[in-house]
C-alpha cells in the first residue's frame, strides 16, 4: 500500500494540533499542581467519580472512561487512597470486582480545585477562540472520537 504522505498544510495542522494539545495539558497540570497539589490526571479521575451516582464506579469502568489501562488506573487509585481521597470496596453486585469510592475528603479536594481548573480551561482554551471556533472544535473532536470509537 502506498503511503499517503501529509502535504505541507496537513503537516502544519498536525504539528499545531500536537503542540497545542500538549502545551494546554502541561499548563493545566502545572496550575493544578501549584494550586491544588494534584496532577491533572488525578483531577480528572476525581472529577469523573464526583459525577457518578454515589460517587463510585467499578474500577474497570473508571479505566474505560479515563481511556487508561486498568493497571495505570489502579496505580492512580492506590495513590489517591494513600491521600484518603478514594477508597476501594468490593463491588456489591459482583464480589470479584472492586469499586472506587470518592471519600468526603476526596470530594472536598476536587470541589476546591474545580474553580481554578475551570478558570484555566476558560483562559487557555475558550477565551482564545471565537464562538464559531468553539462549535467547530466540538464538531471536529466529536468526529475524531466517533471514528476512534468505531475502531473497537
pLDDT digits (tens, 9 = 90+) for 81-109: 999 999 999 888 877 789 999 999 999 99
* Fold classified for 25-150: Arc Repressor Mutant, subunit A (1.10.10)
Q: Which residue has the higher pLDDT, 19 or 151?
A: 19
Nearest to 56 by CA among 102, 123, 10: 102
pLDDT on residue 94: 76
Mean pLDDT of the chain: 95
Domain ranges of the chain: 25-150
Average pLDDT over residues 40-60: 95
The answer to whether residue 152 scores a pLDDT higher than 80 is no
Q: Helix axis angle, 59-66 relative to 70-82, nearest 10°?
A: 110
**Amino acid 52: pLDDT:** 96
Amino acid at each position: 500500500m502506498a503511503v499517503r504522505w501529509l502535504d505541507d498544510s496537513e503537516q502544519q495542522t498536525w504539528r499545531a494540533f500536537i503542540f497545542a494539545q500538549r502545551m494546554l495539558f502541561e499548563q493545566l497540570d502545572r496550575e493544578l499542581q501549584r494550586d491544588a497539589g494534584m496532577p491533572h490526571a488525578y483531577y480528572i479521575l476525581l472529577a469523573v467519580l464526583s459525577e457518578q451516582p454515589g460517587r463510585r464506579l467499578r474500577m474497570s469502568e473508571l479505566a474505560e472512561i479515563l481511556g487508561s489501562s486498568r493497571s495505570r488506573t489502579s496505580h492512580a487509585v492506590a495513590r489517591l487512597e494513600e491521600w484518603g481521597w478514594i477508597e476501594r470496596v468490593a463491588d456489591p453486585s459482583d464480589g470479584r470486582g472492586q469499586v472506587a469510592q470518592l471519600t468526603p475528603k476526596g470530594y472536598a479536594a476536587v470541589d476546591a480545585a474545580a474553580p481554578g481548573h475551570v478558570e484555566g480551561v476558560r483562559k487557555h482554551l475558550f477565551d482564545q477562540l471565537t464562538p464559531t471556533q468553539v462549535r467547530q472544535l466540538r464538531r471536529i473532536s466529536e468526529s475524531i472520537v466517533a471514528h476512534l470509537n468505531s475502531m473497537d
